[in-house]
Amino acid sequence: MDPSLLVLASTALGAVAGAGVAVAILGMRRAGRRRAAELRPELEEVATTILDEIDMFAVVLDSSLTPVYANPIARQERHISDDDIRDPDFLLRVRRVMTTGVPDTHEPDPTDPSDTVRIHIVRIQRRFAVILAEDLGEEQRVNAMRRDFIANVSHELKTPIAAIGLLSEAVQQAADEPAVVLDFAKSLVKESRRLGELSRDIIQLSEAQSALRPEDRESVSLRNLVRSEVESHREFAVQHGIELVVTDESDQDRDAVILGRPASLGAAVANLLSNAIRHSPDGGRVGVGMTIRRRSFIVTVTDQGAGIAPEHQSRIFERFYRVDGARTRGDGGTGLGLSIARHTMRAHGGDVDVWSQPGVGSSFTLAFPLHDPEGSAKSSKRAKKARRSTRGSAETAPAPEPAP
């Protein structure tokens, strides 16, 4: 890419050029919109009216490359520094557009994270050039994340699918040897279970990432939810030689109810329980605590496992992140459990957090915001009262002044 554009694109929306332009734009920021008309009355008002409304950075330069107008987004843009905009090469491009009338466009390079700004230079009314710029950084980031996710999913699916194919062929070939067939069949069950868990988690993750719609909001008793998940994990804990201990210190006089997706909320608790059991030493103890802190119901799942080193603690909530990828992949984990938990909790207005110390153990905390029907009834009464009083005063008050 043209080095001049690279400089410009590297600064979010720092896309306007010209010696002295900085001063002029800063001046316009202070002077506001009226200044455009004062500077160049021949710039048609219709043009500035349109540019005022568009959702991107727009600056108009006249034939001497002096800025005569900056739209509200350009006026608010704080990333422009004098260094960014004194770029002779960029000015040359503007001048070329001005003389030839041929628009110039710079598209960001999707593989270069520092190149995120799309720039259009267009001539208008023969004597002016409009510079339009928009930062596509967020869009590029989302696309990159999507690409990574698809690559990860295909990679994760490939292994069990290939294993199932090979094992099925092996079973056919060993048809006369029942012991060998039995062995292969066990591996087949293991691989197909892994495939099943992976597809279940991918579905749960996509559900957890989708916004909570009003029709998704069922009333869920958090105490029952936690107890039922604990019961579902008892057998699993016994298989691992783990004791599951539940303590409920929450104020029993208070209802612990949340409005949300019961299956997703259950999956968040289940993932923490399953992790704690899987990462605990034989004969260990997993504690599940419940308490209410202000307006949140807090569930803590604590284990006496190996713990998680500080450098991994912030990353374990990422999709497919495993502290020890190779070892834990065959261990029953899909690498999505904590990501599902975090997305679910955030979609419900809560969050999940971790405390861990290598050699001591880990403690994961879920904070559920409590639904307070009394509080919401009171606040809706307050809102109704406020609406009534504003309606009353609106009926008697004079008509509002038109916006300036």
Task: Tell whether residue 279 is a contact of ligand ADP (CB under 6 A).
Answer: yes
Cα-based distances in Å from 35 to 27, 44, 64, 69, 340:
9, 13, 17, 8, 52
Task: Tell whether residue 322 is a contact of ligand ADP (CB under 6 A).
Answer: yes
Total of chain residues touching ligand ADP, rule CB under 6 A = 20
Contact 36, 60 (CB under 8 A): yes
What is the nearest approach in angstroms of ligand ADP to the Cβ of residue 78? Answer: 38
* 204/362 with CB nearer ligand ADP: 362
Task: Tell whether residue 362 is a contact of ligand ADP (CB under 6 A).
Answer: yes
Task: Tell whether residue 316 is a contact of ligand ADP (CB under 6 A).
Answer: yes
The one-character DSSP state at 322 is -
- Cβ-Cβ contacts under 8 Å for 205 (sequence gap 6 or more): 319, 336, 339, 340, 343
What is the nearest approach in angstroms of ligand ADP to the Cβ of residue 365? Answer: 12
Helix (H) or strand (E) holding 265: helix 262-278
Task: Tell whether residue 275 is a contact of ligand ADP (CB under 6 A).
Answer: yes
What is the nearest approach in angstroms of ligand ADP to the Cβ of residue 235? Answer: 19
* 71/204 with CB nearer ligand ADP: 204
The window from 19-27, 75-83, 337-345, 382-390 that contacts ligand ADP (CB under 6 A) reads 337-345
The window from 82-90, 107-115, 223-231, 269-277 that contacts ligand ADP (CB under 6 A) reads 269-277
Within 77-221, where are the H helices? 82-85, 88-100, 137-173, 178-209
Contact 118, 58 (CB under 8 A): no
The window from 178-186, 254-262, 319-327, 392-400 that contacts ligand ADP (CB under 6 A) reads 319-327
18 phi-psi bin (left φ>0, alpha ψ -120 to 50, beta other) = left
Indicate which single residue of 11, 71, 204, 271 sits in contact with ligand ADP (rule: CB under 6 A): 271
Q: What residues form DSSP beta bridges with 118?
A: 134
What is the nearest approach in angstroms of ligand ADP to the Cβ of residue 236? Answer: 13
CB atoms within 10 A of CB 188: 18
Task: Tell whether residue 233 is a contact of ligand ADP (CB under 6 A).
Answer: no
Task: Tell whether residue 11 is a contact of ligand ADP (CB under 6 A).
Answer: no
Task: Tell whether residue 335 is a contact of ligand ADP (CB under 6 A).
Answer: yes
Indicate which single residue of 337, 367, 368, 370 sits in contact with ligand ADP (rule: CB under 6 A): 337
Task: Tell whether residue 276 is a contact of ligand ADP (CB under 6 A).
Answer: yes
* 116/339 with CB nearer ligand ADP: 339
Within 215-261, where are the H helices? 222-239
> Hunting for tokens 């809560």 — which residue is that?
350
Q: What share of the chain is helix, strand, coil (3-state, %, to 5)?
A: 50, 20, 30
What is the nearest approach in angstroms of ligand ADP to the Cβ of residue 338? Answer: 3
Task: Tell whether residue 68 is a contact of ligand ADP (CB under 6 A).
Answer: no
Indicate which single residue of 115, 135, 229, 303 sits in contact with ligand ADP (rule: CB under 6 A): 303
205/193 Cα distance (integer angstroms)? 18
What is the nearest approach in angstroms of ligand ADP to the Cβ of residue 343? Answer: 11
The window from 50-58, 64-72, 121-129, 336-344 that contacts ligand ADP (CB under 6 A) reads 336-344
Indicate which single residue of 43, 220, 308, 352 sits in contact with ligand ADP (rule: CB under 6 A): 308
355/365 Cα distance (integer angstroms)? 8
Q: How many CA atoms lie within 13 A of 227 on its CB side?
A: 8
186/202 Cα distance (integer angstroms)? 25
Indicate which single residue of 75, 333, 345, 368 sits in contact with ligand ADP (rule: CB under 6 A): 333
268/274 Cα distance (integer angstroms)? 10
- Angle, to 10 degrees, between the axis of helix 88-100 and the axis of helix 3-10? 110
Residue 400: exposed, middle, or buried by beta-carbon count in 10 A (0-12, 13-18, 19+)?
exposed
Indicate which single residue of 334, 343, 366, 371 sits in contact with ligand ADP (rule: CB under 6 A): 334
The window from 52-60, 167-175, 288-296, 335-343 that contacts ligand ADP (CB under 6 A) reads 335-343
Contacts with ligand ADP by CB under 6 A lie at 271, 275-276, 279, 303, 305, 308, 316, 321-323, 328, 333-339, 362
